[in-house]
Amino acid sequence: MKNPPKRPNPIADDGDEFRFCSTCAFSAACLESGYGKPELRELHVLVEHIGPFKEGEHIFREGDEFNAIAAVRGGTVKTYVNDAEGREQVQGFFLPGEVIGLSAISQGRYPCNAVALDTVILCNFSFPTIAALAARLPGLQAQLFRLLSQDIGKAALLAGNYSADERMAAFLISLSRRYAARGFSPTRFQLTMTRTDIANYLRLAAESVSRVFRRFQDDKLIRVDRRDIELLDVKRLEVLARSVLRE
Amino acid sequence: MKNPPKRPNPIADDGDEFRFCSTCAFSAACLESGYGKPELRELHVLVEHIGPFKEGEHIFREGDEFNAIAAVRGGTVKTYVNDAEGREQVQGFFLPGEVIGLSAISQGRYPCNAVALDTVILCNFSFPTIAALAARLPGLQAQLFRLLSQDIGKAALLAGNYSADERMAAFLISLSRRYAARGFSPTRFQLTMTRTDIANYLRLAAESVSRVFRRFQDDKLIRVDRRDIELLDVKRLEVLARSVLRE
DNA sequence: CGCTAGCTTGAAACCGGTCAACTTTTGTGG
DNA sequence: CCACAAAAGTTGACCGGTTTCAAGCTAGCG
């Protein structure tokens, strides 16, 4: 399982054979910390590219044993739980460069399900190994603490009692910025999730999502055609999203 | 600032002079890990009892520089932010034994305000020191990861779109269990926060909180008299709270 | 005593959910 | 490539829980 798996779908592969993962947060952390070759090599051995996962394929399920954190290298991952009535509660969408599975550390088991929304490739980091390594590399330990701490505040979009318009605007602005951070267009991208997924994430009915999209389009805020979306007036969307995103 | 401050209000002091803090999570972690005297002494030097804070006094404010995580030793702490419209959004209430400030690690600054709801005493742990120590004590590092990871899933109560009744029931059950874990009565305790605080936490109008209390009381679920509350039918409350607490 | 913050109660408005019907798209197998 | 079925998305009508607004109450404290 440690032998480097073939990469059948070289998403975002920059051609540099020796950079083990251009999109991974840990890679970035170590490079920033100015570690030399030996440390990078140590980090390298615990990295495992896995996938591709096909659309609808599960990456892990609630209750699965946790032993590795994963960074999304390509594609989109949705995490969710099913509530007492069996209804799906979407917890988050993870784009390339983002890390999933951190909430599993405390229990040693995943508290949620993760499923691929399109073709997904991951970088897996053995958690015991990275934790041991972190004891020797202060920069890595700090980065881990930072990653964990970041996620604590992430639920803001879901937490407040905001209007459907505010939620949707915040959702779109968030996607826009996250795509922009990875070098994609901030104003035009594909929604890799269904309307129902968006609704379950924003705690709205699917019908409401549909209606808000229509209203936004009528107001010339966006242009939507199925999964293709273009943000026409980012300024006004940001104003709408302001109270959610706290700026 | 490192000299041990006097303890003017020995809340929950069990009289054992050598146990530096009976309620602190870190203390517990080290004791469980089976460390001997030397390690405990190391941990001891970075612990600082601070307070008491009076009701309404701020422990930290949004934007303040972060350098220590704190465990509540006595009293109740409320954390909150003010949204774009200046309305208070309560993020959490922290009872004795619980840790505040973890979300500040990633930014190096507190992302929220913390205020004492009654007389509060804290244990402060210098974060740089404890991080350095964690590099040598694997058990401590693991405990830190666990604490951080735990907090990631905490927002569940606020995240879902639950009814006012479900939210309130979950809130009361949560308080009950947390008090019980610290040896207090699980069925009768003081609400140290105002109705408005509860409303801001549960994302309800203060009027709704009032009405739910009344309804619960009429239904013989609870008995409330100002800040004094008694849970009369924990079973039924748990049923109500089930979907929120995900059991 | 009287002020004030906290709390309660009632009436009305509104936002989003639910239900139902329909359209569009996607996927599958002949 | 078409036929068909299933899934996803849209739209309208109606309903209900919560909020909002307004008024009054209560306890605590100077």
The pLDDT tens digits for A141-164 are: 999 999 998 888 777 778 888 999
3-state secondary structure of A3: coil
Secondary structure class of B144 (helix, strand, coil): helix
Tell whether A87 is within 8 A of chain B (Cβ).
Answer: no
Q: Is B243 on the interface with A (CB under 8 A)?
A: yes
Inter-chain residue contact B246 with A83, CB threshold 8 Å = yes
Q: How far is A85 from chain B (nearest CA, A)?
A: 7
Domain boundaries defined on chain A: 27-156, 164-245
Higher-confidence residue of B9 and B243: namely B243
* Angle of helix A127-136 versus helix A37-45 axis, rounded to 10: 160
Q: What is the pLDDT of residue B227?
A: 94
B193, closest nucleotide (Cα–C1'): C6
A161 touches strand D (CB under 7 A): yes
> How do residues A84-107 score in pLDDT, each as one tens digit?
788 899 999 999 999 999 999 999
Q: How far is CA B196 from the centre of its chain?
A: 18
Q: Where on strand C do bases come within 7 A of a protein Cβ? A: 6-11, 15-20, 25-26
Does residue A102 contact residue A94 with C-beta atoms inside 8 Å? no
Does residue A30 have a pLDDT over 50? no
CA atoms of A158 and A174, how far apart (whole Å):
13
SS3 B81: strand
Q: Which residues pair with B60 in a beta bridge?
A: B114
In the 205-234 stretch of chain B, whose C-beta falls under 7 Å of nucleic acid strand D? Answer: 205, 207-208, 211, 226
Minimum distance, in Å, between the CA of residue A159 and any CA atom of chain B = 5
CB-strand contact A206/D, under 7 Å: yes
> Order of strands, edge to edge, in the sheet holding A99-100?
A47-53, A120-126, A68-74, A99-100
CA–CA separation, B64 vs B78, rounded Å? Answer: 16
Interacting residues of B107 by C-beta distance below 8 A, sequence separation 6+: B66
DSSP summary character for residue A92: E
Contact A224, A217 (CB under 8 A): yes
Topology at the third CATH level for domain A27-156: Jelly Rolls (2.60.120)
- Rounded to whole angstroms, the distance from the CA of residue B54 to the C1' of nucleotide D30 is 20
**Within an 8 Å CB–CB cutoff, is residue B86 touching chain A?**
no
Least confident of B45-49, B60-64, B176-180, B214-218: B45-49
Q: Phi first, then psi: what are they for B63, rounded to 5°?
A: 95, -15
CATH of domain B164-245: 1.10.10.10
What average pLDDT does the segment A115-144 reach?
A: 92
